[in-house]
Structures are given as structure tokens and as C-alpha cells.
């Protein structure tokens, strides 16, 4: 299977603060798997801390929305986050499934959906 985006749609009972414990591992895994780990370790710590502080306040974090092969985005209008690649690939699927397993291991209830960006862009 190939996809351009993998969406982690959070269940209604999940709060953003529920992601606080697992998010450093999610972000680090995402950056490692996509080859986007910053050269300076302090930059990685900064990304984690900025997102972590938002999650701890039960607010939507920024994610990792930098220019690169893939992005980890928390959209403003939905209770979800997603990975988006530059093109359809097996890599988006593999990384999304890995993060989904991490969420399941942390008991964060969610649904994993594919290519929802194209559905919203057509409407």
C-alpha cells in the first residue's frame, strides 16, 4: 500500500495532554525514520520542549511542520495529527503504522486513516 498521508484521528475521550508522555518518542521516531534529525541536539530538544509544553497545557502543539521530505502536522480544525509526505510512498504507511503502535502501547485511542487531505481538498 502507498499513501501520501497517514492520519491519527483521536477518540473523543482523548485529550492532548494524554499525548504528553509519548510525544517525545513519537517526534524522535518520526525524525529518525524520515532522516530529518537536526544536526544540533539542542535543536531537537527545543522541538520536543515546545511541543511538550503545549501538550501538558492540553493544547494543540505545532508538531514538525518544517520544509523537508515529511511533516508531522496538528491541523487547527480537527482533533488529529498526521504525517504527510511529498509523494505517495510505502514509507508514509510504514512510519504511520509504527506511530500507531506507539499510541496503542500508550493507550491513546485513535483511528489510523489514509489520504484524507485529498478528500478535504476536493470538497
Alpha carbon 52 to its chain's center: 13
Is residue 34 classed as helix, strand or coil in its secondary structure? Answer: coil
Kindly state the average pLDDT of the residues 40-68: 94
Kindly state the average pLDDT of the residues 53-80: 93
Q: DSSP of 48-113, one letter per residue?
A: HHHHHHHHHTT----EE--SSSEEEE--TTSSEEEEEEEEEEHHHHHHHHHHHHHHHHTT--EEEE
Centre a 10 Å sphere on the Cβ of residue 111 and count the other Cβ atoms it contains: 11
What are the sequence ranges of the domains in the chain? 3-122
In total, the chain counts a number of residues equal to 123
CA–CA separation, 4 and 59 (whole Å): 26
Summarised one tens digit per residue, pLDDT across range 93-110 is: 999 999 999 999 999 999
For 114, list phi and psi in degrees, rounded to 5.
-120, 145
Residue percentage of the chain with pLDDT more than 90: 83
Judged against a pLDDT cut of 70, whether residue 118 lies above it is answered with no
Kindly state the average pLDDT of the residues 57-83: 93
Kindly state the average pLDDT of the residues 103-120: 88
Amino acid at each position: 500500500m502507498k499513501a501520501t498521508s497517514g492520519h491519527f484521528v483521536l477518540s473523543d475521550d482523548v485529550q492532548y495532554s494524554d499525548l504528553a508522555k509519548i510525544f517525545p518518542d513519537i517526534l524522535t521516531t518520526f525524525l529518525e525514520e524520515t532522516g530529518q534529525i537536526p544536526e544540533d541536539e539542542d535543536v531537537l530538544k527545543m522541538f520536543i520542549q515546545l511541543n511538550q509544553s503545549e501538550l501538558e497545557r492540553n493544547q494543540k502543539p505545532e508538531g514538525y511542520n518544517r520544509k523537508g521530505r515529511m511533516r508531522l502536522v496538528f491541523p487547527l480544525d480537527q482533533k488529529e495529527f498526521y504525517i504527510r509526505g511529498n509523494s505517495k510512498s510505502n514509507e508514509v504507511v510504514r512510519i504511520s503504522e509504527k506511530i500507531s503502535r506507539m499510541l496503542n502501547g500508550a493507550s491513546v485511542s485513535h483511528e489510523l486513516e489514509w489520504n484524507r487531505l485529498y478528500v478535504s481538498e476536493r470538497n
